[in-house]
Amino acid sequence: MLGDLSLNVVVHGNGKGSALIVLHGFTGSVETWSPFLADWGRRRTVVAIDLLGHGDSDAPDDPERYRVEYAVADILAVADRLGFHAFDLLGYSLGGRVALHLTLAALERVRSLILESVSPGILDPAERQARIASDEDLAKVLEEEGILAFVDRWERMPLFASQATLPADVRARLRAQRLRGNPRGLANSLRGIGAGRMPALQPSLDQIKRPMLAIVGALDTKYLGVGRDLVARVPSARLVIVPEAGHAVHLERPDLFNRLVVDFLDRKEK
């Protein structure tokens, strides 16, 4: 519990060593990381968190409660409660944006940063307004037509086109996970912490001095450019472009994604 709200937190590992906090993307949950927890938890404690409106966390009615500054405070409160002052961070898409905001808000607490398919924000005002309008449209689909209509529309987005080649059982599990989403929570997440609502961080990225690994799929053309710009602004960052993968590298190339994460963390800790 955080005040009057409850966040779902899954802790994996023996409770010793360093901590790795992992944050899923929009429509995701702690379930996103299930295939990797055994490997990641061998040498460290892995803390997987359902962001507000997702998974088994609460879905408050006020979109303002979803704002990124509250998400950052929530995650820091979880780390404090578990006794981890310093930790590594891994975030995918929405979770990666939150991870960047957290890092800049608490530079002394983040040991390293792994970002999968992450944008530091939208600088152009017109593009920001267009994204806000697009997110509002999706929120209304959730509220007026329901989760099935939303998932059908979400899965047709060009960003996820490469997922059509995934094995049928993998696509079925992903769709089932999306269909378990809370319509109110997802709608309010779009309104409160959508990319158009979050401050753009590009001017502040040079403050990050910790080791950073940015992972981008070679088929994700938009985020290839975003990823290159991101690492150009952070001297300590390294970009890895994963072949035959789109936006969800962890889903499309899980073995390679896992190896990249483990190697980065292990090498950093030697």
User: Tens digit of pLDDT for each residue in 60-75?
Assistant: 999 999 999 999 999 9
Dist. CA 97–CA 99, nearest whole Å: 5
Residue 17 clears pLDDT 90, i.e. is over it: no
Check: CB of residue 234 under 8 Å from CB of residue 112.
no
Residue 258 in tokens? 């896992």
Domains annotated on the chain, with CATH: 9-122+199-269 (3.40.50.1820)
| Per-residue tokens: 148 | 């099935």
pLDDT band of residue 46 (cuts 50, 70, 90) is: very high
Interior angle at CA 194, CA 257 and CA 259, nearest 5: 5
Given a cut of 70, is residue 123 above it in pLDDT? Answer: yes
Q: Stretch 103-125: mean pLDDT, rounded?
A: 97
Average pLDDT, the chain: 95
Mean pLDDT on 158-186: 95
* 208's tokens: 């990050």
d(CA 18, CA 60): 32
Side-chain half-sphere of 15: how many Cα atoms within 13 Å? 2
Percent of the chain at pLDDT > 70 equals 97
Residue 37: pLDDT band (50, 70, 90) is: very high
pLDDT at 85 > cutoff 70 = yes
User: Is the pLDDT reported for residue 225 higher than 90?
Assistant: yes
User: DSSP characters for 167-228?
Assistant: -HHHHHHHHHHHHTS-HHHHHHHHHHHSTTTSPP-GGGGGG--S-EEEEEETT-HHHHHHHH
Instruction: Give the H or E element holding residue 89.
Output: strand 87-92
Residue 270, pLDDT score: 57
Average pLDDT over residues 88-107: 98
Model confidence at 139, pLDDT cuts 50, 70, 90, reads very high
- DSSP sequence for 99-141: HHHHHHH-TTTEEEEEEES-------HHHHHHHHHHHHHHHHH
pLDDT reported for residue 2: 67
Which pLDDT score is estimated for 269?
67
